[in-house]
Amino acid sequence: MSTKNEVFGYLPDERPPLLGLIFFALQQIVVMFPATVLVALITGFHVSTTIFASGLATLGFIFITGRQIPLYYGSSFSYIAAIASIMGAEAFAAYSLNDKISVAQFGIVMSGFVSIFAGYIINRSGKDKIDKVLPATVTGSIAIIIGLSLAANAMTNAASFPEAAQNLPFAGSWAWVIAIITLLSTIMYSVYLRGKLSQLPILFGLMTGYVAAIVIGGITGIPFVSFDTIQTAGVFNLPIFTFPKPTLTAVVAIMPIAIATIPESTAHVYQLDIYVNDLARKKGVNKKYDIENKLGLNLIGDGIGDIISGAIGGPAGTNYGENISAMAISKNFSIHVLILAAILTMVISCFTPLINIIYSIPTSVIGGLSIYLFGVIGAQGITIMLDRNVDMFSAKNLAVIAVILIVGLGGSFGFEGGMIPMFGIEIPAIATAAVVGILLNLMLSIGEK
């Protein structure tokens, strides 16, 4: 009877046994891979380099923060429009692909210094002042729009099928079947699995969807699973590393975006604090994991991550909500798992067969997972506001939440690329929502005791 109430899960300083460590690391790789690779594909950056940079920047983040904050660094969607504007700029039309990446890299590296500077300011001014600038109404709302702004990506991925099946009947319908099987199985695993198996619902859900895709592909002839995505001469291929090329244009376009990622990072740190300490209480551990007061350290680590990634040819990034979702669902916050995940990610980026295995995961399977994961990111925003006892009858709070939600979501879905055309320029919707929300909250706080 005693095992019935046993709580499974790993706190940041706990280490799972070897086999569990490997599976948990694979699960973290699975959830960060789609978005990280998608950013590379959209911006034109080298995919293998982006993957390698993600792992290296994660290691940099973990060790800079003293192995105290369990977060995974991946490519950020917030920077996509800014980086794409550099890659497609007429001024650089004559440049080679690598030269264009080098120009963008300089802006990415400089954006890292913005995060580091913000981290030092927070460390010096203290958490109380930051709470006034970034209250739960702001951070919770930002978490909601980050999750929900990705809803279209999740749904379109769920409906995706191979181009080779364009003329085959019901290809789209079969894609939905695979996505639904993936989604429902992942939910069932997360709700009904018990014991240590309850920590691997995402990996099991992906495997179930993958098997379903193979079976359905065999029956229908639709090649949902393909292993020849990347054609190269050798098995082992180092990523293509490029180096930053100082350009003022890249600094102006990319560097300011770092300001908008601060509320996102704040939301992630508060989410982690809630979930980690909840697990500690349930496990009967008396230690307090004071993660929420490490916001400044987290931003410094984020900035170091951007500098590391930008220095070798990776896009700008942030700590990943998808990975926090995976940790929250599986109750596994072990730093050791994230270190192994980062190392394995770097290894995968060098082996073409391994990258092909990852690429062989059907887009519809990724879509099924994403519906759940991106929804959990949004739900965590609600968790932040509930945990902070936000007064939803306050006119001020309602105004801040309302404006952030509508600007962020309306801008994301109403304008191409999520770029809001305003006063002769185009500004990213989520960044705009964050800045407007912060300013509105400060304005409405004037005169408060």
DSSP string, 50-82: HHHHHHHHHHHHHHHTTT-S---EEE-GGGHHH
**Sign of the CA dihedral running 158, 161, 166, 168:** negative
Which residue did the predictor score with more confidence, 387 or 78? 387
Q: Which helix (H) or strand (E) holds 24?
A: helix 18-43
Distance CA(171)–CA(224), nearest Å, equals 10
- Flag whether pLDDT at 198 surpasses 60: yes
Which residue did the predictor score with more confidence, 22 or 136? 22
- Flag whether pLDDT at 107 surpasses 70: yes
- In this prediction, residue 2 carries a pLDDT of 42
Distance CA(372)–CA(349), nearest Å, equals 26
Q: Average pLDDT in the 185-214 region?
A: 85
Contact 73, 265 (CB under 8 A): no
Domain range enclosing 137: 2-444
Token pair for residue 139?
């951070």
**Sign of the CA dihedral running 162, 167, 168, 170:** positive
Q: Average pLDDT in the 405-416 region?
A: 90
3-state helix, strand, coil in the chain (%, to 5): 70, 5, 25
Q: Is residue 179 part of a domain?
A: yes
Name beta bridge partners: 420. Answer: 427
Q: Average pLDDT in the 377-405 region?
A: 89
- Flag whether pLDDT at 414 surpasses 70: yes
Counted domains in the chain: 1
**Sign of the CA dihedral running 300, 109, 38, 375:** positive
CB count in 10 Å sphere of residue 434? 30
Task: Report the percent of the chain where pLDDT is more than 90.
Answer: 38
- In this prediction, residue 143 carries a pLDDT of 79
- Flag whether pLDDT at 233 surpasses 60: no
Contact 52, 314 (CB under 8 A): yes
Phi, psi at residue 413, to the nearest 5°? -95, -20
Q: Is residue 115 part of a domain?
A: yes
Which residue did the predictor score with more confidence, 58 or 39? 58
Distance CA(279)–CA(332), nearest Å, equals 9
Q: Is residue 37 part of a domain?
A: yes
Distance CA(111)–CA(385), nearest Å, equals 29
- In this prediction, residue 64 carries a pLDDT of 94
Q: Is residue 257 part of a domain?
A: yes
Q: Shortest CA distance to 82 belongs to which of 429, 428, 434?
A: 428
Contact 34, 15 (CB under 8 A): no
Q: Is residue 291 part of a domain?
A: yes
Q: Shortest CA distance to 199 belongs to which of 342, 21, 418, 444?
A: 21
- In this prediction, residue 261 carries a pLDDT of 73
Q: Average pLDDT in the 262-283 region?
A: 87
As separate numbers, helices (DSSP H) first and strands (DSSP E) second, the chain gives 18, 4
- In this prediction, residue 210 carries a pLDDT of 93
- In this prediction, residue 449 carries a pLDDT of 64
Q: Is residue 307 part of a domain?
A: yes
Confidence of residue 426 (pLDDT cuts 50, 70, 90): confident
Name which of 15-24, 85-94, 404-413 the model is least confident about: 85-94
The mean pLDDT value of the chain amounts to 86
SS3 of 243, please? coil
Confidence of residue 93 (pLDDT cuts 50, 70, 90): confident
Q: Which residues contact residue 340 at a Cβ distance below 8 angstroms, ignoring those fewer than 6 apart?
A: 21, 22, 25
Q: Average pLDDT in the 344-357 region?
A: 85
- In this prediction, residue 228 carries a pLDDT of 63
- In this prediction, residue 3 carries a pLDDT of 45
Q: Which helix (H) or strand (E) holds 230?
A: none
CA distances from 263 to 260, 285, 309, 440 (A): 7, 30, 21, 14
Q: Is residue 449 part of a domain?
A: no
- In this prediction, residue 101 carries a pLDDT of 94
Which residue did the predictor score with more confidence, 315 or 428? 315
Does pTM top 0.85 for this prediction?
no
- Flag whether pLDDT at 4 surpasses 60: no
CB count in 10 Å sphere of residue 150? 23
Q: Is residue 86 part of a domain?
A: yes
